[in-house]
Amino acid sequence: TLHNAQEIVRKGILIGDTVLIRKAGDVIPEVLAPVIEKRTGKERAFVMPSKCPDCGSKLRAMSEGDVDIRCPNSQSCPAQVVERLFYIGSRSALDIDVLGYEAAAALLADKLVIDEGDLFSLTLKDLIKSDFFTKKDGSISVIADRFVAGLELAKTRPLWRVLVALSIRHVGPTSAQALANKFGSIANIQKASADELANIDGVGGVIAEAIVEWFDVDWHKQIIKKWEKAGVALVDAPKEKLKQTLEGLTIVVTGSLNDFTRDGVSEAIVARGGKAASSVSSKTDYVVAGDSAGSKLDKATELGITILDEAGFKKLLEKGIK
């Protein structure tokens, strides 16, 4: 929870300190304070770096009032490009076989890509130039075959996953699904105003502004063009609309479910007209409690919110409120 320099200074914490912590929320350990009597004199103050350790750019806040210090060289800072490539391959985004951190680093180091815009144009002929994707004798490896197959499969993923893969700040699976359901294509989202975006349940003003700002950047537009040219689906395929059994309902899921992944349960809720929220409040209609449910379950009980097990949730998905 020491997420910015001001918080470290406010709590008086030094590098090397023994600290008091508590459980905040479901799993996050919150650092409360240093244990002064355990200091040895070897502790030292944390000094926020002034330059990016990877590309050397001067670090700064990216907007007025922002306490986070970031590298502004987002297009070509090697560390940022590798992280975005890695994120594209993650299960939360396009779930591309082989595209982990090591593969992402190799793609950039071996100059197979300049940024993520080049990713979906890669072929086996390109990959043979990289040791990561070849055998010791220089021939193409099974890893390369799997990677290219993974890229082809990723081109057919649902629109909401493409939105997540673009690394637009604040846009996660829940807001991406809401956007995809409303607009149906990247082009329509790009044309939408901040007000139109903000009015979508699950989006709001902060996310809307981040989306508009992202699409205003020229090199971001180039990524979209390159992906489209390479065959990435930027329009959701027509699909049978599910019965809107959860229309108007706000649902929070806590703990793990047997038949749903974290992203899958959110998708199931949104596809049926509901809102998949991340925190419990008086506006929450239902809390679905799986194995190892945390403090959200306690809060739901405190607020008198209806709690469902997985079987009850499945029944709600199918039939809605009776």
In DSSP notation, 110-141 reads TTS-SSGGGGGG--HHHHTTSGGGB-TTSPBP
Question: Distance (Å, rounded) from C-alpha 207 to C-alpha 182?
Answer: 15
Closest CA to 210 of 160, 169, 174, 268: 169
Beta bridge partners of residue 134, listed in sequence order: 140
pLDDT tens-digit readout, 289-303: 988 887 888 899 989
Please report, rounded to a whole number, the percentage of residues in the chain having pLDDT higher than 90. 69
In DSSP notation, 53-115 reads TTT-PBPB-SSTT----B-S-TTT-HHHHHHHHHHHTSTTTT--TT-SHHHHHHHHHTTS-SS
pLDDT of residue 40: 96
What torsion, rounded to 10 degrees, do the Cα atoms 38, 41, 42, 45 define? 90
Whether 12 shows a pLDDT value over 90: the answer reads yes
Q: What are the structural domains of the chain?
A: 5-38 (no CATH), 78-154 (1.10.150.20), 159-230 (1.10.150.20), 250-319 (3.40.50.10190)
pLDDT of residue 10: 92
pLDDT of residue 241: 74
* Confidence at 279, pLDDT banded by 50, 70, 90: confident
Q: Taking a C-beta distance cutoff of 8 angstroms, is the pair 12, 36 a contact?
A: no
Q: Integer distance in angstroms from the first to the last C-alpha of the chain?
A: 42
Beta bridge partners of residue 20, listed in sequence order: 33
Whether 97 shows a pLDDT value over 80: the answer reads yes
Whether 79 shows a pLDDT value over 70: the answer reads yes
pLDDT of residue 272: 87
Averaged over 238-255, what is the pLDDT? 85
Q: For the CA atoms of the chain, what is the radius of gyration?
A: 23
pLDDT of residue 286: 94
